Amino acid sequence: MKAIYIDGHGGNEVVHVGERPHPQRHAGDVLIRMQASTLNQVDLYMRNSGAGITHQLPQTMGIEGFGHVAECDADSGFKVGDAVVIHPSISCGQCEFCLRGDDVLCTRVSFVGEHRDGAWSDYLALPARNVLHAPSYLSASEAAALAVTHLTAWRMLVTQGQVKAGQTVLIFGIGGGVSVAALQIAKAMGARAIVTSRHAHKLERALQMGAELGIHTPHDDVVKSVMAFTNKRGVDVVIENVGEAVWGDAMKSLVRGGRLVTCGATSGDQPPADLRRIFIRQLQIIGSTLGNRQELQDLLAFCEQHQIRPVIDRVFPMGDVHAALDMLANAEQFGKVALDLSR
């Protein structure tokens, strides 16, 4: 079958489109004819080094996707032809975290496209519990984006950030997939959103989507802008995946007792702790990654209720995967970069 795979680590020279073994479906699995996927930072990480993630080369890329059921068990809850999305976190079902329903914390978790072959292929076989019916109102690319980008934003806002209607959320780096998803979800929840970006055109897009304030970081002081907007109070929750470059501003923008939720560190992972501010103002710093199956079910229902459509900047055919990876690496997109796996 045709797939996009890596046979080493480095730049686009290790990324190929070619033949890979057809996946074998075992009892309890669903075989999916893949149609679409979107790119994530971890795809770049796996290409560049994959350090710290146990994997074998060559490996098919891609951690999320949309497709149609090709084969399944009679009692799987699916039938051939069903439109589905994948939950990329494959858990053991036996550890303490799985037993309490938080399978994303599984001690033996393996992720599609990280520890095992991914979704950028003609076919993918997964346990039935990792397959969910896709919302019928979305395009293939839009549906593909939900199970990683929007799920990550959902866990950050709802589970970890505990955002409520009327609260104010500061979202760093608008334009990236998680940040745009966080804006969509926060607005649908009834929260107020402040966004930051180095690019004026991305701030303009965010304001059109309902953000109350856009902070242009090359010219505007983040903390001063936040305090002016909130009447010197600060925001209830900060959503960030940038790391060192914004950490100080993120901490200083929080209200007393506020929550900083982080899911990445693209600018560095060793920011100053500022412990005095943390304990005096009783701030909470919370890590977050992806989300569990129940959270994905809740997200899908929420998106259908509010008719949320993931923002897709551009769709590339499989043969143009190098250009797609470059677009993501250069942070040129607003929302998601997608792959059409059917062409």
In a domain, 271, yes or no: yes
If asked whether residues 89 and 204 sit together in one domain, one would say no
Angstrom distance (rounded) from CA 183 to CA 169: 9
Angstrom distance (rounded) from CA 89 to CA 64: 10
In a domain, 187, yes or no: yes
Angstrom distance (rounded) from CA 31 to CA 22: 10
If asked whether residues 115 and 186 sit together in one domain, one would say no
User: Where are any strands of DSSP class E within the chain?
Assistant: 2-6, 15-19, 29-38, 59-60, 66-71, 83-86, 89-90, 110-111, 123-127, 131-133, 168-171, 192-197, 213-216, 235-240, 254-262, 284-287, 312-317, 336-340
If asked whether residues 106 and 176 sit together in one domain, one would say no
Angstrom distance (rounded) from CA 233 to CA 55: 47
If asked whether residues 227 and 255 sit together in one domain, one would say yes
If asked whether residues 232 and 281 sit together in one domain, one would say yes
If asked whether residues 182 and 130 sit together in one domain, one would say no
If asked whether residues 332 and 242 sit together in one domain, one would say no
In a domain, 56, yes or no: yes
Range of the domain at 187: 151-287
Phi, psi of 201 (to 5 degrees): -70, -30
We report the CATH number of the domain holding residue 241 as 3.40.50.720
Which token pair is 131? Answer: 């397959």
Bond before 58 cis per omega within 30 degrees: yes
In a domain, 297, yes or no: no
Structural domain total, the chain: 2
Report the pLDDT value the prediction gives residue 19, as an integer from 0 to 100.
97
78: alpha, beta or left, given left = phi > 0 and alpha = psi -120 to 50? beta
Report the pLDDT value the prediction gives residue 49, as an integer from 0 to 100.
95
If asked whether residues 12 and 99 sit together in one domain, one would say yes
In a domain, 294, yes or no: no
Report the pLDDT value the prediction gives residue 284, as an integer from 0 to 100.
97
Angstrom distance (rounded) from CA 91 to CA 130: 9
We report the CATH number of the domain holding residue 66 as 3.90.180.10
Report the pLDDT value the prediction gives residue 274, as an integer from 0 to 100.
87
If asked whether residues 282 and 316 sit together in one domain, one would say no
Report the pLDDT value the prediction gives residue 270, as an integer from 0 to 100.
87
Report the pLDDT value the prediction gives residue 126, as an integer from 0 to 100.
97
If asked whether residues 120 and 245 sit together in one domain, one would say no
If asked whether residues 11 and 129 sit together in one domain, one would say yes
Report the pLDDT value the prediction gives residue 199, as an integer from 0 to 100.
95
Angstrom distance (rounded) from CA 37 to CA 178: 15
In a domain, 144, yes or no: no
If asked whether residues 10 and 125 sit together in one domain, one would say yes
Mean pLDDT per 10-residue section of the chain, whose length is 343 residues: 97 98 96 98 96 96 97 96 97 94 92 97 97 97 96 98 98 95 98 97 97 96 98 97 90 97 87 90 96 96 97 97 97 96 89
- 223: number of Cβ within 10 Å: 15
